[in-house]
Amino acid sequence: MPSASATRLAALRTLLKQNELDGLIIPHSDEFLGEYTPACAERLEWLTGFSGSAGMALVLADSAAVFSDGRYITQMDQQVDGSCWERQHIYQTPPPAWLARKAPKGARIGYDARIMSSAELRPFTTLSGITLVPTNGNLTDALWADRPAFPAAPATIHPLVYAGESSQDKRIRLGKTLADAGQAAAVLSDSASIAWLLNIRGTDIPCTPVVLAFAVLHADASVDLFLQASKLPADVREWLGADVRVHEPAALESVLATLSGKTVGVDPASNAVWFAETLTRHGATVQESPDPCVLPKARKNTTEQAGTRKAHLKDGVALCRFLHWLDTKEARGTTELQAATKLDAFRAEGADYRGESFPAISGAGPNGAVIHYRVTPESDRPLNANEVYLIDSGGQYLEGTTDVTRTVWTGPDAPPARLKETFTRVLKGQPAPWPRPLPRRHHRPRARRTGPV
C-alpha cells in the first residue's frame, strides 16, 4: 500500500497536468515568510511528511525531491518516503541546480507568488530553458481537504512597561527614515516586525508571541494593518489608535493600488514576490530595501535590556530547580519527554511565563547527538546512568525570551576523561570574539586550534 506522501504526490502530479505545468516549487514558508508557521500553512509537511522548520520540495512528472539543511538531514531520513522523494542537502545540492538538471527543456514550473520571496525565487529565474509560472492559488491547498483553519486567537497589548517606547514614537522615527530614503511607504510581512512596531502580541504560532498580519507603514507615521477584525478586541483597537487603519486581509490589493505613482520600499527577503508584482502592476515604483523595523528592533532600549535580564533571572531559577531535580531520587528512570515536561512545569511556576520559546530539545545518550532532535513518544528513551543528557530549551516571558543549552552527565560515576577532553575542546573551539568581521571560511580553522585542555 502506498504511503500517504506517495498518494498525495500522485494527486499533485495529476493537478499539475491539468494546469499545464511540468513542475512545482513548494517552499516551507507561508504568506508571512516566517521560519515557523501555523498548522494551516504546513504544506511541506502535509505533502512530504517532513516537519522541519526549513526546507523546500520540487516536484516534476517523474522525479521529486525534498531539501533541507544539515540540522535536519537525519530527520528527513526518518520522515520522508525515499521510494518517491529524493532527500537532498539544500547547500550541497541547491534546488535550482537540481531543477536545472532534472527538468525537461521548455518546462513550465509553477510557484505560488504569495509564499515565495523575491530573494528565494530569483535563483530560479536565471535557469535556461525553464519558464516560471505563477499559479492561480495554491495547488497544495486545493488537495488538502482537512486543512486546519487560520489561527483565530485575538491580538493582545504589549504594555509600555515592557516595550519601553510607544508605537507612535516608533512610527514617527521610522516614518522619517522612509522619507529620508525617498519612500512614501514600506510593506511589512514579518510578524515580529509588526508586533514590535505596534506593541502588540499574539499566539498565532506555537512558541512565538506574534499575530499574523500584513502592514504598510507610511512616511507620515500612519499604518494600514491587514488583520481579521475578529482578532482585534476593543482594548487592542483603542491601543492602536486612530493612525492605525485596520482592514480585512482581502482589502490588501486595493490598498496597495492607492500607492500608484509613489515609491514603496519592499524587502525582497521578507516579503512575498506578489507584493512587488502587485505594486508594479498598479503603477507604484518598487525600491528594494531592508525591512525598516529590523535594525531598530534589534537595538534594545534600556527597558528591553532590563526585561531581558529579568527574564533570564526568572528562567535561571527554573533551570536551577530542574538541574537539582535531576539529581534527586524522584528523577530516576525519567525519560526525555518527562524531563522536558518537568522543566516546563518549573518555568510555569514563575511569574509572567507564557510558554516555551521553542519545543525543548531533550536528548539522552545517542539522541543528544542528533542535530535539532525532537523527542516523540516513539523516540522517547530513559536518561540512563553514566551517559550525557542534552537539554536545549527556552521560555517566553512578558519581559523577554530565553534560549539556554545545558549538557549534563547523569552519573553516578565520574565522567570519563575522554568525554571531558572532547567537551572542553568543543567549548574552547567556539570562535572567540573577533576584532573585525571575517569570512566564514576562517572560522573552522580557528575553531580547530583549541590548544591544551
287-327 confidence digits (pLDDT tens): 999 999 999 999 999 999 999 999 999 999 999 999 999 99
d(CA 344, CA 324): 15
Against a cut of 0.85, is the pTM above it?
Answer: yes
pLDDT-derived band of residue 436, with 50, 70 and 90 as boundaries?
Answer: low
Helix (H) or strand (E) holding 168: helix 167-180
Helix, coil or strand: residue 325:
helix
Would the CATH topology of 4-143 be identical to that of 302-429?
A: no
C-beta pairs of 406-412 under 8 Å, 24+ apart in sequence: 406/319, 406/323, 407/368, 408/323, 408/326, 410/326, 410/364, 410/383, 410/384, 410/385, 410/386, 411/385, 411/386, 412/385, 412/386
Rounded average pLDDT over 28-36: 93
d(CA 88, CA 66): 6
Q: How many angstroms separate the Cα of 149 from the Cα of each of 42, 215, 240?
A: 12, 22, 26
Cell of 379: 523516540
Rounded average pLDDT over 348-364: 96
CATH 3.40.350.10 for the 156-298 domain, yes or no: yes
In the predicted structure, residue 434 carries a pLDDT above the cut 60: no
**Cβ atoms 274, 114 nearer than 8 A:** yes
d(CA 159, CA 180): 30
pLDDT-derived band of residue 409, with 50, 70 and 90 as boundaries?
Answer: very high
152-202 confidence digits (pLDDT tens): 999 999 999 999 999 999 999 999 999 999 999 999 999 999 999 999 999
Cell of 422: 572532547
Domain ranges of the chain: 4-143, 156-298, 302-429
d(CA 224, CA 256): 10
The sign of the CA dihedral 363, 389, 410, 414 is: positive
d(CA 339, CA 393): 11
CA 313, 314, 315 angle in degrees (round to 5)? 90
pLDDT-derived band of residue 400, with 50, 70 and 90 as boundaries?
Answer: very high
Q: Which residues pair with 94 in a beta bridge?
A: none
325-349 confidence digits (pLDDT tens): 999 999 999 999 999 999 999 999 9
User: How would you classify the pairing of strands 130-134 and 107-111?
Assistant: parallel
At residue 433, the pLDDT reads 56
User: How would you classify the pairing of strands 200-201 and 285-288?
Assistant: unpaired
At residue 443, the pLDDT reads 47
CATH superfamily, with its number, for domain 4-143: Creatinase/prolidase N-terminal domain (3.40.350.10)
In the predicted structure, residue 445 carries a pLDDT above the cut 70: no
Cell of 280: 508594479
**Which CATH number is correct for 302-429, 3.30.70.3280, 3.30.70.260, 3.90.230.10, 3.60.15.10?**
3.90.230.10
